[in-house]
Amino acid sequence: MTAVLIALIRCDGPDCGAETHTPFETSRASVVRRFRRPGGWRTRPGGRDLCPACWKTGHR
Ligand SMILES: [Zn+2]
């Protein structure tokens, strides 16, 4: 009955599937995005998430 809610964001790059989350508990993807932005994760208009590797290779 107890659910630990950890929001997960997944890279939308082609053939990627990288995932990231916060080291603390949150159910909000927006919190994860803000937390991971300094690490290179980006969110494109429309809500697509890109990991640092895909961002660098230009899958935007
Ligand atoms: Zn990726």
| pLDDT, tens digit, 9 for 90 and up, residues 16-57 | 999 999 999 999 999 999 999 999 999 998 889 999 999 999
Give the per-residue pLDDT at 3: 66
22 within 8 A of 6, measured Cβ to Cβ: yes
Residue 35 alpha carbon to ligand 1 centre in Å: 17
Separation in Å, CA 31 to CA 24, 28, 34, 54: 10, 5, 5, 21
Residue 56 alpha carbon to ligand 1 centre in Å: 9
What would the pLDDT profile of 13-23 be if each residue is shown by its tens digit? 999 999 999 99
Residue 21 alpha carbon to ligand 1 centre in Å: 14
**Which SS3 state, helix, strand or coil, does residue 54 take?**
helix
Give the per-residue pLDDT at 26: 92
